Amino acid sequence: MTTEYQFRAELNVPYEEAIERATTALKDEGFGVLTEIDVKATLKKKLDAEFRKYVILGACNPNLAQQALQQELELGLLLPCNVIVFEEDGGSVVSIVHPLTMLGVVENPALQPIAGEATERLQRVAEKLKG
pLDDT, the chain, mean: 95
Domain 6-130 classified CATH 3.30.310.70? yes
> 4 versus 69: which is more confidently predicted?
69
Q: What is residue 103's predicted lDDT score, i.e. its pLDDT?
A: 84
Domain boundaries, the chain: 6-130
Given a cut of 80, whether residue 126 has pLDDT beyond it is: yes
Give, in order, the Cα–Cα distances in Å from 38 to each of 27, 77, 93, 112, 126.
20, 21, 15, 32, 21
Given a cut of 90, whether residue 105 has pLDDT beyond it is: no
**What is the pTM assigned to this prediction?**
0.93
- If you average pLDDT over residues 54-83, what whole number do you get? 96
pLDDT in tens, 2-39: 558 999 999 999 999 999 999 999 999 999 999 999 99
Q: What is residue 3's predicted lDDT score, i.e. its pLDDT?
A: 57
Q: What is residue 104's predicted lDDT score, i.e. its pLDDT?
A: 81
* DSSP states along the chain: -B-SSEEEEEESS-HHHHHHHHHHHHHHTT-EEEEEEEHHHHHHHHH-----SEEEEEEE-HHHHHHHHHH-GGGGGG-SEEEEEEEETTEEEEEEE-HHHHGGGS--GGGHHHHHHHHHHHHHHHHHHH-
- If you average pLDDT over residues 33-49, what whole number do you get? 98
Q: What is residue 107's predicted lDDT score, i.e. its pLDDT?
A: 87
Q: What is residue 51's predicted lDDT score, i.e. its pLDDT?
A: 98
